[in-house]
Amino acid sequence: MYTEEIEMYLDEFKNDLSKVVDHYENELLQIRAGRANPKIIEKIMVDYYGTMTPISQMATISVPEARMILVNLWDNSMLKAVSKAIEGANLGLNPSDDGRVIRLIFPQLTEERRKELAKEISKYTESAKVACRNARREVLDIFKKMKKDSNITEDEMERLDKDVQKLLDDVILSIDKMNNNKEKEIMEV
């Protein structure tokens, strides 16, 4: 139905949408919802003998209880540095260590904090949708140029427009679903 060139642009568009969704999912995982989630601290960087290293590459991170993260370092000499890095990440968590492991206790979220987090999620959601719409605009601009150069017909252009819109609608629907799930998770007491 479509030429290889058009297929290539459609695949590129799908790939762009996929990247937006992955990035959005990652941002949602970083938001603390009152429940312990190891993803929150995995990417915090620590100076590990002169090299900035994520905590996930220096320790075993586990969740023994619903509101506690346990960080078991492979090199106990880094305990203070990791504790400082976690404090410096402004997650609202106070690390406590017993000389062997770091414990992070998640306090219950206040109603006010839940609302702030919901607003933050809405911002992430909107920026993800905008990124998807920008990708749609870019691919449609390419197709319009192809139509103008008489490489595709009016009917093909219309079909491409519908296909691109359908792909976008599916992705927006999945973003909205993730948004609703995260908001529900945050509003749970």
Condensed to tens digits (0 to 9), the pLDDT of residues 8-36 reads 999 999 999 999 999 998 888 777 666 67
DSSP for residue 188: -
Question: Per-residue pLDDT tens for 118-143?
Answer: 888 999 999 999 999 999 999 999 99
Share of the chain above pLDDT 70, in %: 96
Indicate if 136 and 159 belong to the same structural domain: yes
Closest CA to 161 of 152, 149, 174, 172: 152
Indicate if 133 and 88 belong to the same structural domain: no
Name the domain count of the chain: 2
Instruction: List strands edge to edge, sheet with 59-65.
Output: 59-65, 68-73, 101-105, 95-97
- pLDDT for 33 equals 66
Q: Which of 105, 122, 144 marks a domain boundary?
A: 105
DSSP for residue 107: P
3: number of Cβ within 10 Å: 12
Question: Per-residue pLDDT tens for 92-122?
Answer: 778 888 888 888 887 777 788 788 888 889 9
- H helices present in the chain, as ranges: 4-30, 39-42, 79-88, 111-148, 154-187
CA dist., res. 54 & res. 58, Å (int): 7
Indicate if 116 and 183 belong to the same structural domain: yes
**Structural domain boundaries, residue 64:** 39-105
Here the CATH number for the domain that contains residue 48 is 3.30.1360.40
Closest CA to 37 of 73, 69, 77: 69
Indicate if 114 and 101 belong to the same structural domain: no
First-to-final CA distance of the chain: 52
